[in-house]
Amino acid sequence: MKSVLIVPTFNEAENIERFLTQVRSDAPNTDILVVDDNSPDGTARIAELVAQRLGSIKVIKRTGLRGYAPASRDAMLSAIESGYDAIATMDADFSHDPKVLDKLISLVNSDTALVIGSRYVPGGGVTNWPLFRRVLSKWGNLYTAFCLRLKIKDCTSGFRVYSAKSLKNINLDGLKADGYAFLSEMAFVISRKKLGLIVESPIVYVDRAFGESKMNTRIMRESMVLVTRWGFALRTGIGRKHLPR
Protein backbone atom coordinates (compact mmCIF):
# COMPACT_ATOMS: atom_id res chain seq x y z
CA MET A 1 0.00 0.00 0.00
CA LYS A 2 1.40 3.39 -1.05
CA SER A 3 1.21 5.82 1.84
CA VAL A 4 1.84 9.52 2.36
CA LEU A 5 1.89 11.71 5.44
CA ILE A 6 0.46 15.22 5.17
CA VAL A 7 2.01 17.71 7.59
CA PRO A 8 0.28 21.12 7.70
CA THR A 9 2.68 23.74 9.02
CA PHE A 10 2.56 27.34 10.12
CA ASN A 11 5.62 28.73 11.91
CA GLU A 12 7.16 25.39 12.83
CA ALA A 13 10.80 26.36 12.11
CA GLU A 14 11.87 25.08 15.51
CA ASN A 15 10.33 21.65 14.91
CA ILE A 16 10.25 20.83 11.23
CA GLU A 17 13.76 19.52 10.60
CA ARG A 18 13.79 17.23 13.61
CA PHE A 19 10.22 16.15 12.89
CA LEU A 20 10.85 15.16 9.26
CA THR A 21 14.05 13.34 10.19
CA GLN A 22 12.26 11.44 12.93
CA VAL A 23 9.33 10.46 10.67
CA ARG A 24 11.70 9.23 8.00
CA SER A 25 13.51 7.07 10.52
CA ASP A 26 10.31 5.70 12.16
CA ALA A 27 8.22 5.30 8.98
CA PRO A 28 10.75 4.96 6.15
CA ASN A 29 8.22 3.68 3.61
CA THR A 30 5.87 6.64 3.87
CA ASP A 31 6.37 9.71 1.68
CA ILE A 32 5.81 13.14 3.22
CA LEU A 33 3.85 16.13 1.98
CA VAL A 34 4.49 19.33 3.93
CA VAL A 35 1.84 21.98 3.29
CA ASP A 36 3.02 25.33 4.54
CA ASP A 37 1.03 28.55 4.66
CA ASN A 38 3.80 30.97 3.79
CA SER A 39 5.20 30.83 7.34
CA PRO A 40 7.11 34.04 8.12
CA ASP A 41 9.67 32.03 10.13
CA GLY A 42 10.89 30.19 7.00
CA THR A 43 9.47 26.74 7.79
CA ALA A 44 9.02 25.92 4.08
CA ARG A 45 12.65 26.75 3.25
CA ILE A 46 13.90 24.46 6.01
CA ALA A 47 11.52 21.71 4.84
CA GLU A 48 12.86 22.06 1.28
CA LEU A 49 16.44 21.69 2.49
CA VAL A 50 15.53 18.57 4.48
CA ALA A 51 13.64 17.27 1.42
CA GLN A 52 16.79 17.58 -0.70
CA ARG A 53 18.71 15.62 1.90
CA LEU A 54 16.16 12.88 2.66
CA GLY A 55 14.17 12.59 -0.60
CA SER A 56 10.50 11.54 -0.99
CA ILE A 57 9.36 14.76 0.66
CA LYS A 58 7.30 17.32 -1.25
CA VAL A 59 6.68 20.85 0.02
CA ILE A 60 3.54 22.70 -1.03
CA LYS A 61 3.85 26.44 -0.45
CA ARG A 62 0.45 28.05 -0.16
CA THR A 63 -0.24 31.73 -0.49
CA GLY A 64 -3.48 33.59 0.14
CA LEU A 65 -5.99 32.61 2.77
CA ARG A 66 -4.28 30.51 5.43
CA GLY A 67 -5.89 27.83 7.52
CA TYR A 68 -5.50 24.28 8.77
CA ALA A 69 -8.50 23.13 6.70
CA PRO A 70 -7.73 24.65 3.29
CA ALA A 71 -4.10 23.55 3.63
CA SER A 72 -5.15 19.98 4.49
CA ARG A 73 -7.66 19.90 1.63
CA ASP A 74 -5.09 21.10 -0.93
CA ALA A 75 -2.64 18.47 0.25
CA MET A 76 -5.29 15.73 0.13
CA LEU A 77 -6.20 16.60 -3.45
CA SER A 78 -2.53 16.49 -4.38
CA ALA A 79 -2.09 13.12 -2.58
CA ILE A 80 -5.11 11.60 -4.34
CA GLU A 81 -3.80 12.80 -7.69
CA SER A 82 -0.42 11.22 -6.93
CA GLY A 83 -2.08 7.81 -6.47
CA TYR A 84 -1.49 7.13 -2.77
CA ASP A 85 -3.74 4.53 -1.08
CA ALA A 86 -3.36 5.67 2.54
CA ILE A 87 -3.25 9.38 3.40
CA ALA A 88 -2.15 10.23 6.94
CA THR A 89 -2.08 13.57 8.75
CA MET A 90 0.05 14.64 11.73
CA ASP A 91 1.01 17.86 13.51
CA ALA A 92 4.62 18.99 13.13
CA ASP A 93 5.09 19.84 16.80
CA PHE A 94 5.77 16.33 18.21
CA SER A 95 2.38 16.19 19.92
CA HIS A 96 1.92 13.06 17.80
CA ASP A 97 4.54 10.32 18.14
CA PRO A 98 6.07 9.39 14.75
CA LYS A 99 6.67 5.88 16.12
CA VAL A 100 2.92 5.22 16.01
CA LEU A 101 2.44 6.25 12.37
CA ASP A 102 3.22 2.84 10.84
CA LYS A 103 0.75 1.15 13.18
CA LEU A 104 -2.08 3.55 12.24
CA ILE A 105 -1.34 3.09 8.54
CA SER A 106 -1.36 -0.69 8.97
CA LEU A 107 -4.95 -0.50 10.26
CA VAL A 108 -6.23 0.82 6.92
CA ASN A 109 -7.78 -1.93 4.82
CA SER A 110 -10.51 -2.22 2.20
CA ASP A 111 -13.25 -1.82 4.86
CA THR A 112 -11.67 1.14 6.66
CA ALA A 113 -12.32 4.73 5.66
CA LEU A 114 -10.56 6.41 8.59
CA VAL A 115 -8.20 5.40 11.40
CA ILE A 116 -8.08 7.92 14.23
CA GLY A 117 -5.19 8.12 16.69
CA SER A 118 -7.40 8.54 19.73
CA ARG A 119 -6.67 10.07 23.13
CA TYR A 120 -9.94 8.90 24.63
CA VAL A 121 -9.94 5.14 24.12
CA PRO A 122 -8.27 2.76 26.63
CA GLY A 123 -4.50 3.11 26.39
CA GLY A 124 -4.73 6.65 25.03
CA GLY A 125 -4.17 9.89 26.91
CA VAL A 126 -2.80 13.41 27.13
CA THR A 127 0.34 14.53 28.95
CA ASN A 128 1.34 17.95 30.23
CA TRP A 129 -1.68 19.83 28.93
CA PRO A 130 -3.03 22.57 31.18
CA LEU A 131 -6.41 21.77 32.80
CA PHE A 132 -8.22 24.23 30.52
CA ARG A 133 -7.06 22.44 27.34
CA ARG A 134 -7.88 19.03 28.80
CA VAL A 135 -11.41 20.05 29.72
CA LEU A 136 -11.96 21.86 26.43
CA SER A 137 -10.82 18.87 24.40
CA LYS A 138 -12.68 16.23 26.41
CA TRP A 139 -15.97 18.14 26.59
CA GLY A 140 -15.61 19.40 23.03
CA ASN A 141 -15.37 15.80 21.91
CA LEU A 142 -18.37 14.66 23.94
CA TYR A 143 -20.41 17.57 22.56
CA THR A 144 -19.29 16.91 18.96
CA ALA A 145 -20.09 13.19 19.15
CA PHE A 146 -23.52 13.98 20.63
CA CYS A 147 -24.43 16.66 18.07
CA LEU A 148 -23.18 14.71 15.06
CA ARG A 149 -24.41 11.32 16.35
CA LEU A 150 -20.95 9.83 16.02
CA LYS A 151 -19.75 6.86 18.06
CA ILE A 152 -16.26 8.33 18.11
CA LYS A 153 -14.37 9.22 21.27
CA ASP A 154 -11.85 11.56 19.63
CA CYS A 155 -13.32 13.42 16.66
CA THR A 156 -10.78 16.24 16.91
CA SER A 157 -7.53 14.29 16.79
CA GLY A 158 -5.33 15.43 13.91
CA PHE A 159 -3.30 12.20 13.98
CA ARG A 160 -5.23 9.99 11.57
CA VAL A 161 -5.12 8.03 8.34
CA TYR A 162 -7.73 8.14 5.56
CA SER A 163 -8.10 5.58 2.82
CA ALA A 164 -7.77 7.35 -0.51
CA LYS A 165 -10.83 5.40 -1.64
CA SER A 166 -12.95 7.21 0.96
CA LEU A 167 -11.45 10.64 0.24
CA LYS A 168 -12.27 10.27 -3.45
CA ASN A 169 -15.96 10.15 -2.51
CA ILE A 170 -15.86 13.48 -0.66
CA ASN A 171 -16.24 16.85 -2.32
CA LEU A 172 -13.33 18.39 -0.40
CA ASP A 173 -13.89 21.83 -1.93
CA GLY A 174 -17.47 21.83 -0.64
CA LEU A 175 -16.53 21.49 3.04
CA LYS A 176 -17.29 24.35 5.41
CA ALA A 177 -14.61 24.48 8.12
CA ASP A 178 -11.47 26.63 8.03
CA GLY A 179 -9.85 25.55 11.29
CA TYR A 180 -9.63 22.31 13.29
CA ALA A 181 -13.42 21.86 12.91
CA PHE A 182 -12.28 20.29 9.64
CA LEU A 183 -11.35 17.16 11.61
CA SER A 184 -14.86 16.69 13.01
CA GLU A 185 -16.33 17.60 9.63
CA MET A 186 -14.34 14.88 7.88
CA ALA A 187 -15.43 12.24 10.41
CA PHE A 188 -19.02 13.47 10.05
CA VAL A 189 -19.01 13.29 6.24
CA ILE A 190 -17.40 9.84 6.22
CA SER A 191 -20.03 8.59 8.65
CA ARG A 192 -22.99 10.23 6.86
CA LYS A 193 -21.92 8.96 3.47
CA LYS A 194 -21.16 5.52 4.93
CA LEU A 195 -17.77 5.48 3.27
CA GLY A 196 -16.39 2.74 5.52
CA LEU A 197 -15.39 1.90 9.06
CA ILE A 198 -14.00 4.54 11.40
CA VAL A 199 -11.51 2.88 13.76
CA GLU A 200 -9.87 4.40 16.84
CA SER A 201 -6.43 3.32 18.01
CA PRO A 202 -4.87 4.72 21.20
CA ILE A 203 -2.27 7.49 21.13
CA VAL A 204 -0.69 9.53 23.89
CA TYR A 205 -0.73 13.23 23.02
CA VAL A 206 2.19 15.31 24.28
CA ASP A 207 2.02 19.10 24.56
CA ARG A 208 4.41 20.89 22.23
CA ALA A 209 7.84 21.82 23.65
CA PHE A 210 8.81 24.31 20.89
CA GLY A 211 6.93 26.88 18.85
CA GLU A 212 3.52 28.34 19.47
CA SER A 213 0.04 26.88 19.33
CA LYS A 214 -2.22 28.30 16.62
CA MET A 215 -5.36 27.43 18.54
CA ASN A 216 -7.37 30.59 19.21
CA THR A 217 -10.87 31.67 20.17
CA ARG A 218 -11.92 32.15 16.55
CA ILE A 219 -11.08 28.53 15.77
CA MET A 220 -12.87 27.32 18.92
CA ARG A 221 -15.92 29.42 18.09
CA GLU A 222 -16.02 28.10 14.54
CA SER A 223 -16.01 24.54 15.84
CA MET A 224 -18.78 25.22 18.32
CA VAL A 225 -20.97 27.04 15.78
CA LEU A 226 -20.59 24.48 12.98
CA VAL A 227 -21.10 21.42 15.18
CA THR A 228 -24.17 22.99 16.82
CA ARG A 229 -25.60 24.02 13.44
CA TRP A 230 -25.10 20.56 11.96
CA GLY A 231 -26.59 18.87 15.04
CA PHE A 232 -29.62 21.16 14.82
CA ALA A 233 -30.05 20.49 11.10
CA LEU A 234 -29.78 16.72 11.66
CA ARG A 235 -32.59 16.77 14.22
CA THR A 236 -34.94 19.39 12.81
CA GLY A 237 -34.19 19.47 9.10
CA ILE A 238 -33.82 23.25 9.43
CA GLY A 239 -30.72 24.48 7.63
CA ARG A 240 -30.03 21.13 5.92
CA LYS A 241 -28.25 23.05 3.20
CA HIS A 242 -25.49 23.76 5.73
CA LEU A 243 -24.75 20.05 6.19
CA PRO A 244 -21.47 19.00 4.57
CA ARG A 245 -21.83 16.46 1.79
Q: Which is nearer to ligand GTP, 74 or 200 (CB)?
A: 74
Binding partner at 8 among Mg ion, ligand GTP, none, C-beta below 5 to 8 Å by kind = ligand GTP
CA–CA separation, 64 and 99 (whole Å): 34
The residues of the shown chain that bind ligand GTP, judged by CB under 6 A, are: 8-10, 12, 35-37, 66-68, 71, 91-93, 95, 158, 180, 207-208, 213-215
Q: Which is nearer to ligand GTP, 159 or 188 (CB)?
A: 159
Spatial contact of 13 and 43, defined as CB atoms under 8 Å apart: yes
Q: Three-state DSSP class for 161?
A: strand
Closest approach of Mg ion to the CB of residue 52, in Å = 26
Q: Which is nearer to ligand GTP, 1 or 135 (CB)?
A: 135
The CB-side HSE value for 55 (13 A sphere, CA atoms) comes to 2
Q: Which is nearer to Mg ion, 168 or 212 (CB)?
A: 212
Q: Which is nearer to Mg ion, 162 or 180 (CB)?
A: 180
The angle formed by the CA atoms of residues 191, 161 and 204, to the nearest 5 degrees, is 105
Q: Which of residues 50-109 bind Mg ion (CB under 5 A)?
A: 91, 93, 95
Closest approach of Mg ion to the CB of residue 208, in Å = 5
Phi, psi of 4 (to 5 degrees): -140, 145
Closest approach of ligand GTP to the CB of residue 60, in Å = 9
CA distance between the termini of the chain: 27
Spatial contact of 204 and 127, defined as CB atoms under 8 Å apart: yes
Binding partner at 154 among Mg ion, ligand GTP, none, C-beta below 5 to 8 Å by kind = none
Closest approach of ligand GTP to the CB of residue 39, in Å = 8
Closest approach of ligand GTP to the CB of residue 234, in Å = 26
Burial classification of residue 146, based on how many CB atoms lie within 10 Å of its CB (0-12 exposed, 13-18 middle, 19 or more buried):
exposed
